[in-house]
Amino acid sequence: MADDLSSIAKDVFLVKGLKNTTLIWRMVVLTLAMVCGVYICSICLKQIGIGTASKIGFLDIKIVDKPCPEPNIEPWEIPYVHYPNPKTYSREECACSPVRYFAILSMQRSGSGWFETFLNSHANISSNGEIFSVKARRSNMSTITETLDTIYNLDWVSSASKNECTAAVGLKWMLNQGLMQNHEQIAEYFRIHGVSVIFLFRRNLLRRMISVIANEYDRSAKTLNGTHKSHVHSPKEAEILAQYKPKLNSSTLIQNLKQVSETTKKALEYFKSTRHILVYYEDVVKNRTKLMDVQDFLKVPRMELKTRQVKIHKGTLSSQVKNWNDVEKALTGTPFENFLHEDYRR
């Protein structure tokens, strides 16, 4: 190969009648330039491959063969834009539509199920649910990584999986599902793979507590014709579930509220360096245009989002608790006093 090249080069250069030594030097420089070029190219190709198909080496080449046109985005967005190559199907006409990765970080009974049904009503969003409620998937960082890789490569099969034109893919992840234990490595995964975080929390932790206890009660009582439901779709079902009025333990109440509040703060701290948006359940309840902010955050086209879910606990708090007087007494004069008074509708 070197011989062929040098003979071609010789012909070219000899025509111009150059001296032999100059010719040799030129050949050396030419060869070096070629080696450099190939090296730089290979590094570029590698980087294009990262986060899209790094696990399936031969697919990298496919991406390189038919590069997608440069998306019209700001430079800071580049790490957050991906072109997954699912193993199980082809993205067809959307192979060159960029995909954003997200994770909804939340706590039980904070409206995340409701919130997720809104997101999944969007034609281009797939939020795959509480994937890590299954213990085996969160047993260690390698199972977590493997699971996330599958989701973000658009290979996860769930009722939320859309089609080849998914533009934002993610999951709902509760803080107590391995997220806090492995927070350093997970934050690192989010950084490397350009995952955006949606924090979804509830302002009124007292209402959340009531919902937790009531849901826990229904898990064994199964009030809806012998089945347990955490979310309902009819006002009648909601009414039946709301009939149960829990009694709160007023001596451990403050301690519990404090603990939940601390956990929330810690989560915000652990993942503060990821690209994120903070959404409060109550704010979405009051103003659905908050969902537009979320769509903008995910860079999907704006659509009107819908849900069929019905709220279980409505109306004033005092009517939802058996020992309201005790609760009121326990919280008055504490930082949690405002939880007693905040009311709203959905």
Residues that bind ligand NAG (CB under 6 A): 94, 97, 123-124, 136, 139-140, 142-143, 163, 165, 167, 224-225, 236-237, 240, 249, 251-252, 287, 289-290, 293, 301
- Minimal distance in Å, beta carbon 98 to ligand NAG? 8
Helix-then-strand count for the chain, H and E: 12, 5
| Residue located via tokens 């967005």 | 77
Which of residues 147 and 264 has its CB atom nearest to ligand NAG in the complex?
Answer: 147
Cβ proximity to ligand NAG: between 42 and 255 the closer is: 255
Cα 211 from Cα 52, distance rounded (Å): 40
User: What is the smallest separation between the CB atom of 345 and ligand NAG, expressed in angstroms?
Assistant: 14
Beta bridge mates, 169: 101, 126
Query: What is the rounded distance in angstroms from the CA atom of residue 127 to the CA atom of residue 144?
Result: 17
Owner of token pair 């080449």: 61
Q: State the minimum distance, in angstroms, from the CB of residue 286 to ligand NAG.
A: 7
SS3 content of the chain, % helix, strand, coil (to 5): 50, 10, 40
For residue 342, the minimal CB distance to ligand NAG (Å) is 16
| Distance (Å, whole) CA 58 – CA 53 | 9
Report CA 259 to chain centroid distance, whole Å: 25
Nearer to ligand NAG, 55 or 236 (CB): 236
User: What is the closest distance, in whole angstroms, from the C-beta atom of residue 93 to ligand NAG in the complex?
Assistant: 8
Whose Cβ is closer to ligand NAG: residue 26's or residue 290's?
A: 290
Quote the least distance from Cβ 40 to ligand NAG, whole Å.
32
Least distance to ligand NAG, CB of residue 161, Å: 13
Nearest CB to ligand NAG, comparing residues 4 and 70: 70
Residue among 273 and 325 whose Cβ is closer to ligand NAG: 325
User: Which token pair is 69?
Assistant: 């046109």
Triad 137, 139, 144: Cα angle to 5°: 50
Query: What is the C-alpha to C-alpha distance for residues 121 and 125, in angstroms, rounded to an integer?
Result: 8
CB nearer to ligand NAG: give 27 or 293.
Answer: 293
Do residues 281 and 110 touch, judged by C-beta distance below 8 A? yes
Phi, psi of 310 (to 5 degrees): -115, 140
- Exposed/middle/buried for 141, CB within 10 Å: 0-12, 13-18, 19+? middle
